[in-house]
Amino acid sequence: MKIKRIAHLGVAVQDLDAALAFFTGGLPLELIHTEDYQGMKIGFIPVGDSSIELLQDLSGSSAIRKYLDKNGEGIHHIAFEVDDIHQAVEELKAKGIKLIDETPRPGAHGMSIAFMHPKATHGILMELVQPMKDPH
């Protein structure tokens, strides 16, 4: 497995528009993409070769809702881009590292994704991502 870069930092926010007032108004950054995904509203803000991924709960029962209720706003996860996500998942499984997604699945913004479990990663929720060649 080759880890190519930090693709994004996921940040849990209560209200995407309110967060954008800071991230794109207070800071000189730009929103390039928003998407509704699995009960969340997600906004992507490039920072150099990486992005900040703002995550707002929409459904009332998303992974972000539970996190916000427990911890409040803040960094939710780190995503690493890998060269081959299927091989990466198999390597982690062979090493006995606990995964949330034992098989890669379609994520936001045209990525194939797989999460590791925070209990296996020193308390940090980590995601592997790889751009999907054909998202359809």
Point out which residues bind ligand CMX (CB under 6 A): 10, 53, 55, 63, 66-67, 70, 76-77, 100, 107-108, 113, 115, 118, 123-125, 127
Cβ-based nearer residue to ligand CMX, 41 or 76? 76
Asked whether the beta carbons of 125 and 55 are under 8 A apart, the reply is: no
Q: How far is the CB of 8 from ligand CMX (least distance, A)?
A: 7
**Residue 119 Cβ, how far from ligand CMX at the closest point, in Å?**
6
Burial 55-86 (b: 16+ CB within 10 A, else e): bbbbeeebbbbebbeeeebeebbbbbbbeebe
The Cα 129–Cα 59 span in angstroms is: 24
Smallest separation, CB 117 to ligand CMX (Å): 6
| Closer Cβ to ligand CMX, 18 or 124, answer by number | 124
Nearer to ligand CMX, 65 or 84 (CB): 65
Q: Output the smallest distance, CB 85 to ligand CMX, in A.
A: 13
State which residue, 28 or 119, has the beta carbon closest to ligand CMX. Answer: 119
